[in-house]
């Protein structure tokens, strides 16, 4: 069972969109830390007091102009999307850090007069490492394909942290549960693995997915990592109460989330340092001399090993001094998640660490290999395909294999009016389920099913899948449907708490999964079939707790390649209760080719009818004419030979539309029947 920890710290929400300043959950984060670790609060308060004392003790200040050089490693966590930012975007982030910490930013000219003399060159430089912990060549950027890119600040998510006494670790992720854009802990308060900065990808650097407005979020976080508080102290949000950050030259302030440069709220006539990097106003320009002292004291004091970072021995060990340019590439690639059998499918090379000069793409499910940088493979088998990329240059080779590509079965692989009830092997060559990543996904087991003994279900109560999981259908041919086809399924679900917002959706695709159109969506209380919140019990649905959904496919009539996806997305803030799926069916009535010369004279009357159907056979002499009565879902209600009986009574069937299929050795014919 996974433990999902709900932490929000140093979060910045909606800056670029709303331009209303930064928002932070620093206090809540530390309160969470204190709750998890009873010693953390005392440690936090002691470290804050020590830092405040050091700020007033000039004996610890360095006496010579020395630049502290900090080795940095970025860990990119991604699922192949825009969060897998480029090396160039990372390099732009390093450039901005060095600009801001060295006071080389051109906008220092706009610092207001009261604070311009206090703006500090912090004499700190940041460089990407060129050697990892094992002395292996690196470019200071690691990339990991993992759902952990949808970040939860639990200890289990800090899987890739390098030694914090040697590197400043920065994680780049896609989302955070709280909507945060970045966070870190003050030095010495968190565990060694958790002693890292975590950033949303679109707040890193000023190119690619980010922009200049968001680019200084990392400057703010690095300030925290070197023991700076917000200028108003360790309170929850700016503007709440006047506070002090323990730095003598940053005035007491409530904090600001807009750029009010002449604000003097806390002391009459004393203008506050709104342009400080540790503020939430969007006009950051500076650190003060006092903040520089506080950061240097953090390094000198050796809190959490910060003193070793810039040591000559460490700069050699991390490759910052005498960097090694002779690196082999690390294999990485991107792709769309779904294709179908027979398609030529393209992959995008994202290899890093060094420039690759050779590529080899292969898959056991493919008919070919490719040596192009962005390879193309054609798949011959449906299911989940594993794809391997091997890259190399003069200094070595590397390879990566991913088992994540869904290959849909080809056209007409789905059979109308046959229910997928999960009583046989699932998944198979036609029905496919995504592979769970670091957690649960759709499985089958002997549980309380809607019908039979098996159904597909997600063990969301104990094993939250940390991301969307899906069931993919075969491909259906709806070209010759003469009624409105339908997609139906049964499901059961319970909320684990009233705020739980697990979601279930159904999609259709007509282009091999390249794009999907949503047909159905329910979440939270709307999705629940039990009518109650089941907090402590593991849902095993009773017959009354199953619901049937029937979706019209009228807009897909005439299309020969329709595939479906049922997708379950767990609530981002933690495991909910279980969801169960059973009896998936695509139903419709296919027209039949008629032998007009023989069956043209066959008539069924009266039509409409209140109950009795009579047959006029015309020229056909076959008294063994086969008669099938189907409802609008394609289910067979009557199936027998006509024999000597030239009439049928359907009085007991409900009013509605039916179809009569007449078959003989001479041919076949479909007749639409209206029962009144």
Sign of torsion over alpha carbons 390, 392, 397, 398: negative
Distance CA 218, CA 197 (A): 8
Active-site amino acid positions: 221
**8 A C-beta contact, residue 207 and residue 254:** no
Residue among 375, 318, 317, 367 at smallest CA distance from 342: 367
- Phi, psi (deg, nearest 5) at residue 229: -90, 175
Distance CA 246, CA 278 (A): 13
CA dihedral 531, 537, 541, 546 (to 10 degrees): 20
Can you tell me the distance from the alpha carbon of 18 to that of 12, in angstroms, rounded to the nearest whole number? 11
For tokens 């699932």, the residue is: 426
* Cis check: omega of the bond before 608, within 30 degrees of 0: yes
- Sign of the Cα torsion 423, 428, 430, 431 reads positive
Q: What is the 3-state secondary structure (H, E, C) of 306-335?
A: HHHHCCHHHHHHCCCCCCCCCCCCECCEEC
**Angle between helical axes of 40-55 and 26-36 (0-180°, round to 10):** 130
Nearest to 242 by CA among 210, 267, 219, 262: 267
Spatial distance between the Cα atoms of 482 and 592, rounded to a whole number of angstroms: 10
Ordered DSSP codes for 251-282: --B---SS--TT---SSTT----TTBTTSSSS
Q: Which residues contact 371 (CB under 8 A, 6 or more apart)?
A: 358, 359, 360, 361
What is the DSSP code (8-state) at residue 415?
A: P
Comparing CA positions, the residue from 476, 542, 540 lying closest to residue 509 is 476
User: How far is CA 586 from its chain centroid?
Assistant: 29
φ/ψ of 602, rounded to 5, equals -75, 130
Size (the chain), residues: 676
Pairing assessment for the beta strands 175-176 and 333-334 based on DSSP bridges: unpaired
352 and 87 Cβ atoms separated by less than 8 Å = yes
End-to-end Cα spacing for the chain: 57
Distance (Å, whole) CA 237 – CA 239: 6
| Helix extents (H) in 194-272 | 217-225
- The H or E element spanning position 91 is helix 87-101
Upstream peptide bond of 348 is cis (omega within 30 degrees of 0) = no
Sheet with 503-509, strands from edge to edge, namely 432-433, 469-476, 562-569, 503-509, 517-523
User: Distance (Å, rounded) from C-alpha 417 to C-alpha 635?
Assistant: 7
Tell me if 159 sits within 8 A of 152, measured CB to CB.
no
d(CA 248, CA 539): 58
Sign of CA dihedral 201, 203, 206, 210: positive
Instruction: Specify whether the CB–CB gap between 80 and 137 falls below 8 A.
Output: no
Longest dimension (CA), the chain: 115
């Amino acid at each position: 069972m996974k433990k999902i920890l709900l932490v929000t710290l140093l979060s910045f929400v909606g800056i670029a969109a709303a331009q209303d300043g930064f928002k932070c959950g620093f206090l809540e984060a530390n309160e969470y830390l204190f709750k998890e670790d009873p010693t953390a609060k005392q440690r936090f308060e002691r470290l804050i007091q020590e830092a405040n004392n050091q700020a007033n003790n000039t004996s610890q200040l360095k006496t010579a102009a020395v630049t502290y050089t900090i080795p940095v490693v970025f860990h990119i966590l991604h699922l192949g999307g825009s969060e897998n930012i480029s090396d160039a975007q990372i390099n732009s982030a390093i450039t901005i850090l060095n600009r801001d910490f060295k006071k080389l930013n051109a906008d220092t000219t706009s610092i207001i007069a009261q604070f311009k003399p206090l703006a500090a060159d912090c004499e700190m430089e940041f460089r990407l490492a060129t050697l990892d912990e094992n002395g292996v060549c690196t470019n200071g950027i690691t990339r990991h394909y993992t759902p952990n890119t949808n970040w939860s600040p639990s200890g289990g998510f800090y899987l890739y942290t390098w030694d914090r006494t040697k590197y400043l670790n920065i994680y780049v992720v896609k989302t955070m549960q709280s909507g945060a854009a970045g966070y870190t802990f003050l030095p010495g308060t968190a565990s060694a693995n958790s002693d890292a900065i975590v950033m949303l990808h679109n707040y890193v650097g000023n190119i690619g997915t980010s922009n200049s407005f968001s680019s200084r979020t990392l400057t703010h976080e690095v300030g925290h990592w070197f023991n700076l508080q917000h200028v108003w102290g360790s309170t929850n949000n700016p503007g709440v109460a006047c506070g002090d950050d323990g730095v003598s030259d940053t005035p007491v302030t409530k904090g600001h989330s807009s750029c009010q440069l002449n604000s003097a709220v806390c002391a009459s006539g004393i203008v506050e340092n709104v342009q400080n990097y540790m503020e939430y106003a969007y006009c950051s320009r500076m650190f003060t001399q006092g903040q520089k002292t506080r950061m240097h004291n953090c390094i000198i004091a050796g809190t959490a090993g910060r003193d070793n970072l810039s040591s000559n021995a460490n700069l050699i060990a991390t490759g910052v001094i005498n960097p090694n340019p002779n690196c082999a590439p690390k294999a990485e690639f991107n792709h769309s998640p779904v294709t179908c059998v027979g398609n030529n499918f393209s992959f995008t090379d994202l290899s890093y660490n060094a420039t690759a000069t050779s590529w080899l793409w292969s898959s056991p499910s493919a008919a070919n290999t490719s040596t192009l940088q962005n390879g193309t493979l054609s798949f011959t088998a449906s299911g989940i395909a594993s794809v391997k990329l091997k890259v190399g240059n003069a200094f070595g080779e590397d390879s990566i294999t991913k088992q994540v590509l869904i290959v849909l079965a080809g056209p007409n692989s789905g059979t109308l009016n046959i229910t997928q009830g999960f009583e046989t092997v699932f998944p198979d060559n036609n029905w496919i389920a995504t592979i769970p990543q670091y957690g649960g996904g759709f499985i089958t087991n002997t549980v309380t099913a809607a019908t039979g003994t098996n159904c597909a279900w997600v063990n969301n109560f104990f094993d939250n899948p940390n991301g969307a999981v899906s069931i993919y259908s075969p491909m259906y041919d709806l070209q010759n449907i003469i009624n409105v086809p339908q997609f139906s399924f049964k499901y059961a679900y319970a909320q684990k708490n009233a705020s739980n917002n697990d979601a279930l959706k159904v999609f259709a695709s007509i282009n091999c999964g390249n794009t999907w159109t949503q047909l159905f969506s329910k979440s939270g209380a709307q999705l629940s079939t039990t009518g109650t919140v089941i907090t402590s019990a593991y849902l095993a649905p009773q017959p009354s707790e199953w619901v049937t959904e029937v979706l019209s496919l009228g807009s897909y009539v005439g299309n020969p390649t329709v595939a479906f996806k049922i997708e379950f997305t767990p609530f981002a803030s933690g495991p909910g209760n279980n969801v169960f799926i059973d009896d998936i069916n695509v139903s419709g009535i296919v027209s039949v080719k008629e032998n007009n010369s023989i069956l043209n004279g066959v008539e069924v009357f009266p039509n409409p009818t209140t109950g009795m159907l009579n047959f006029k056979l015309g020229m056909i002499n076959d008294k063994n004419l086969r008669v099938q009565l189907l409802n609008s879902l394609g289910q067979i209600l009557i199936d027998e030979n006509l024999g000597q009986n030239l009439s049928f009574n359907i009085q007991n069937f409900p009013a509605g539309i039916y179809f009569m299929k007449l078959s003989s050795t001479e041919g076949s014919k479909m007749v639409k029947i209206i029962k009144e």
